[in-house]
């Protein structure tokens, strides 16, 4: 591993200053060499973009910084490509023309920090809302107070009395699960174009973590990023901080983290199968899969005190142990779930009705999956063999034997097959680790603190690679915290999957990536043939396919 890092560092010296720390290679380059560096990494090192980070370092170095985080999966290395950006009229060269998967993260940096990306193919906002945000409101800048609003005051209207009412429904409305918005352009019943609009309830957790909380409090926020797989976020965050501070948690803590991560993966994938069967109109499958899932949720509550595995992680280790009585219960649940799941899942997936609605539906070609930098089951179902547990080993995964399921079908059915196999692999991992818990403390005794140290933490969440990046600040706080959840990488691929598909298949296609919004309940359908627009719910769309 160390020799591979050294070799990569040598190769990258031609493109700028190179630094190596904790297995991460950092290249500080400039615009003149950026394109050649990116092409070299893509073509010669088989690198993959994980995310892009913008940092306001004006108080330190009188400039901004943009950091592109790449993964070289074959070599188990992360490479940070850093560019310094002038504080006056901040702008830097875009890499989106080379890597379409950089689109969202570059636009987010532009929206929240005010850094322009020269040559970026779109001027559309990602998070900012024209006419709603205050001009020059860039909330991730250090001189922008956490408590300051970014929205303009609500306009006042003079409404004349009428006999009726005009009611706007969505994107903010009690009847909507979350304010997400898909715009589907159809010709008859065929989707010819799709557009996504989200980020309407951006919670500002990065700003909150940097301005109000210390490194010990942030895990409680990190685990609430996702309502299904929050534990993976707290692990990614703590690993990033531990990397920055040079902390190696005790082995028992690593094992407990991995066990809980796999329990989270099992219950998340079982939940997903239930949702898939439900949107296909197969509620017998939905009810049976969720019945199988319930003991997993009870096990999570037994081990952590909460069905959502809250409050376990901390920087340097974990708070809760797994004693012998709980080990016995874990093994019982694993055996029960494995038996019941294997008895039913193939019968359900082999039903002609399920096959007809999923095979050849929502295809994401391998070339598109690569250029969009998708992750997790979405990537693995399109022949892209990546998994952070194996490619960037963390926690106790180096001590577990498991296979990474991959499929070449590129469709909804293949995503189901990958998740089916992953459930069985996860049960095996839990069984292995719980039988071999090391007898060590649960956490380090002391957490040293170093200012302005950076770290990367990555986990394989149920939906895919989850990346957290941190720079430590003063007084045991963070100077910068960046979160890239897997759905952030996967949602843009939906626009490719939806094109050319039947309108009735849209719910299953959207559900197939297991997107991290509860349910996209508002869809605008534009009919090119008749020039009409209408809003329908996903429940209505689902009924079209029954």
Model pLDDT for residues 479-490, shown as the tens digit of each residue: 999 999 999 999
pLDDT of residue 205: 87
- CB neighbour list of residue 481: distance below 8 Å, 6 or more residues apart: 205, 206, 209, 210, 218, 237, 468, 469, 470
Nearest of 297, 407, 401, 265 to residue 349 by alpha carbon:
407
CATH code at position 98 = 3.30.460.80
Residue range(s) defining the domain that contains residue 76: 2-118
- Closest-CA residue to 413 (of 494, 509, 503): 509
* Closest to 313 in 3D by CA, of 376, 244, 395: 395
Determine, yes or no, domain membership for 323: yes
The span from the CA of 502 to the CA of 499, in Å, is: 9
Residues 94 and 196 in one domain: no
Last residue of a domain, one of 488, 506, 526: 488
In this structure, is residue 367 part of a structural domain?
Answer: yes
Same-domain pairing of 418 and 354: yes
Which among 45, 75, 44 is positioned nearest to 393, based on CA atoms?
A: 75
Residues in the chain predicted with pLDDT less than 70, given as ranges, are: 1, 130, 151-180, 200-202, 517-546
Task: Identify whether the C-beta of residue 280 lies closer than 8 Å to the C-beta of residue 286.
Answer: no
Last residue of a domain, one of 440, 456, 488: 488
Query: What pLDDT score was predicted for residue 157?
Result: 38
Is 497 within a domain? yes
Interatomic CA distance for residues 120 and 94, integer angstroms: 5
Classify residue 157: in a domain, yes or no.
no
In a domain, 232, yes or no: yes
Q: Judge if 38 and 105 occupy the same domain.
A: yes
Q: Are 230 and 223 in contact (CB under 8 A)?
A: yes
For the stretch 2-10, contacts whose Cβ atoms lie closer than 8 Å and that sit 24 or more positions apart, written own/partner, are 4/75, 4/76, 4/77, 5/75, 5/77, 8/45, 8/72, 8/75, 8/77, 8/79
Asked if the structure places residue 172 within a domain, the reply is no
Same domain? 513 vs 406: no
Same domain, 438 and 500: no
Would residue 84 count as lying in a domain? yes
User: Given this model, what pLDDT does residue 117 score?
Assistant: 98
457 and 509 share a domain? no
* Whether residues 473 and 442 fall in one domain: yes
Unique residue bearing structure tokens 């595995």: 309
Number of domains the chain contains:
3
Give yes or no: residues 350 and 462 share one domain.
yes
445 with 506, same domain: the answer is no
- The pLDDT of residue 168: 32
**Pairwise CA distance, residues 286 & 268, whole Å:** 14
- Output the pLDDT for position 545: 55
Say if residue 276 is in the same domain as residue 419: yes
163: burial class by Cβ within 10 Å (0-12, 13-18, 19+)?
A: exposed
Question: Is 237 within the bounds of a domain?
Answer: yes
Same domain, 426 and 522: no
pTM of the full structure: 0.91
Q: Rounded to an integer, what distance in angstroms lies between the CA atom of residue 295 and that of residue 419?
A: 19
Residues 390 and 488: beta-carbon distance below 8 Å: no
CB 513 within 8 A of CB 182: no
State whether residue 110 is helix, strand or coil: helix
Among 488, 511, 526, residue at a domain's last position = 488
The per-residue pLDDT for 535 is 52
Q: Are residues 476 and 497 in the same domain?
A: no
Q: CA gyration radius for the chain? A: 24
């Amino acid at each position: 591993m160390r020799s591979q890092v050294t070799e990569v560092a040598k190769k990258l010296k031609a493109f700028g200053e190179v630094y190596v720390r904790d297995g991460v290679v950092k290249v500080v380059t400039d615009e003149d060499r950026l394109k050649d560096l990116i092409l070299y990494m893509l073509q010669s090192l088989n690198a993959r973009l994980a995310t892009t980070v913008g940092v306001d370092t004006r108080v330190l170095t009188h400039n901004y910084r943009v950091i592109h985080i790449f993964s070289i999966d074959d070599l188990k290395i992360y490479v940070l490509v850093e560019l310094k950006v002038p504080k006056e009229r901040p702008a830097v060269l875009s890499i989106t023309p080379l890597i379409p998967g950089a689109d969202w993260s570059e636009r987010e940096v532009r929206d929240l920090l005010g850094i322009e990306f020269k040559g970026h193919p779109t001027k559309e906002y990602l998070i900012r809302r024209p006419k709603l945000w205050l001009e020059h409101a860039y909330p991730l800048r250090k001189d922008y107070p956490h408590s300051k609003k970014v929205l303009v005051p609500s306009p006042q209207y003079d409404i004349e009395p009428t006999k009726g009412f005009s009611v706007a429904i969505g994107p903010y409305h009690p009847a909507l699960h979350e304010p997400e918005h898909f715009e589907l352009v159809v010709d008859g019943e065929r989707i010819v174009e799709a557009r996504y609009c989200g980020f309407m309830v951006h919670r500002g957790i990065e700003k909150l973590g940097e301005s109000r909380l210390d490194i010990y409090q942030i895990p409680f926020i990190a685990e609430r990023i996702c309502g299904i797989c929050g534990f993976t976020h707290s692990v990614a965050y703590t690993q990033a901080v531990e990397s920055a501070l040079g902390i190696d948690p005790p082995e028992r803590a690593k094992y407990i983290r991995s066990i809980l991560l796999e329990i989270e993966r099992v219950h998340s994938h079982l939940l997903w199968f239930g949702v898939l069967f439900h949107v296909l109109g197969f509620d017998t499958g939905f009810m049976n899969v969720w019945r199988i899932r319930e003991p997993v949720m009870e096990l999570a509550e037994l081990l952590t005190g909460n069905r959502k595995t809250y409050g376990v992680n901390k920087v340097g280790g974990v708070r809760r142990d797994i004693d012998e009585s709980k080990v016995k219960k874990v093994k019982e649940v694993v055996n029960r779930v494995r038996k019941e799941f294997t008895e039913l899942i193939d019968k359900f997936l082999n039903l002609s009705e399920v096959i007809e609605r999923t095979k050849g539906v929502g295809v994401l070609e391998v070339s598109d999956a690569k250029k969009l930098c998708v992750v997790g089951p979405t990537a693995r179902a399109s022949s892209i063999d990546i998994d952070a547990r194996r490619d960037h080993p963390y926690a106790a995964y180096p001590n577990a034997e498991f296979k990474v399921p991959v499929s070449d079908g590129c469709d909804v059915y293949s995503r189901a097959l990958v998740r089916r196999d992953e459930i069985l692999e996860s049960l095996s991992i839990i069984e292995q680790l719980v039988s071999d818990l090391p007898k060590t403390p649960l956490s380090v005794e002391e957490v040293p603190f170093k200012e302005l140290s950076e770290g990367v933490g990555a986990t394989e969440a149920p939906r895919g690679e989850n990346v957290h990046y941190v720079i430590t600040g003063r007084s045991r706080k963070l100077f910068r915290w960046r979160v890239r959840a897997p759905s952030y990488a996967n949602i843009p691929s939906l626009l490719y999957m939806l094109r050319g598909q039947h309108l009735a298949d849209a719910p299953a296609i959207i559900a197939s990536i297991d997107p991290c919004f509860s349910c996209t309940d508002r869809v605008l359908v534009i009919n090119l043939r008749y020039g009409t627009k209408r809003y329908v719910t996903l429940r209505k769309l689902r009924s079209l396919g029954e």
